[in-house]
Chain A
Amino acid sequence: MNPPPIVPTTPRGLTFEPMPEPQNAASILETLLKHPGRIVHELHHRGATALPLWLLALGLLGMAFYGVVIGALSGGAQFMVAPAKMALGTLLAMIICLPSLYIFTCLDGIEARIRTVSGLLFAAVCLAALLLIGFAPVGWIFSQSTDSVPLMGALHLLFWFIAVGFGLRLLNAAGAIFGRGARTHLKLWNLIFVLVCLQMTATLRPIIGKSDTFLPREKKFFIAHWIDSMKGAKAD
Chain B
Amino acid sequence: MIQISKALIRGDAHELAAWLTAFDLERALRCCLLILVGCGIYGATLGLWRAPLQGAFTALKFPLLIFLTCAGNALLNGMLAQVLGSGLSFRQTSSAILLSFATAGIVLGAISPLILFVLWNAPPLGSAADVTGHSIVLLTHVGVIAYAGVLANHRLLRLLEKMSGSRSTARRVLFGWLAGNLFLGAQLAWTLRPFIGSPQLAVQFLRGDPLRGNFYEAVFHAFEHLFH
Contacts and interface: CB of A to CB of B under 8 A. Distances in A.
Contacts of B216: 151
Nearest to A34: B82
Interface in B154-201: 169, 180, 183-184, 187-188, 190-191
Contacts of B76: 131, 134-135, 137-138
A166 interface: yes
A145 B83 CA distance: 30
Interface string A125-157: 001001101111110011011101001000000
B72 interface: yes
B217 A166 contact: no
B166 to A, nearest CB: 9
Contacts of A127: 83
Mostly, the B contact residues are helix
B214 A142 contact: yes
A151 B183 CA distance: 14
B184 A145 contact: no
A151 B72 contact: no
Contacts of A148: 217
Contact of B217 (A34, A36, A136, A146): A146
A141 B75 contact: no
Interface residues of B, number: 27
A138 B72 contact: yes
B213 interface: yes
Nearest to A148: B217
Contact of B80 (A134, A137, A144): A134
Contacts of A145: 187, 190-191, 211-214
For chain A, which range describes its interface: under 10, 10 to 19, 20 to 34, or 35 or more residues?
20 to 34
A136 B71 CA distance: 12
B79 A141 contact: no
Interface string B36-79: 00000000000000000000000000000000000111011111
A182 interface: no
B75 A142 contact: no
B113 interface: no
A34 B87 CA distance: 7
B10 to A, nearest CB: 31
A6 interface: no
A151 B87 CA distance: 35
B85 A137 contact: no
Interface string B196-221: 00000000000000011110110000
Contacts of B211: 144-145
Given A33-B79, A137-B72, A13 B85 contact: yes
A166 B83 contact: yes
A135 B213 CA distance: 20
B183 A138 contact: yes
5 contacts: A138-B72, A138-B184, A142-B214, A146-B214, A146-B217
Instruction: List 10 tightest A-B contacts by C-beta distance, closest first.
Output: A134-B76, A33-B82, A145-B214, A13-B85, A134-B79, A134-B75, A137-B72, A138-B184, A34-B82, A144-B211
Given A137-B76, A137-B184, A138-B73, 7 more contacts: A36-B83, A130-B79, A131-B76, A131-B80, A134-B79, A146-B213, A146-B214
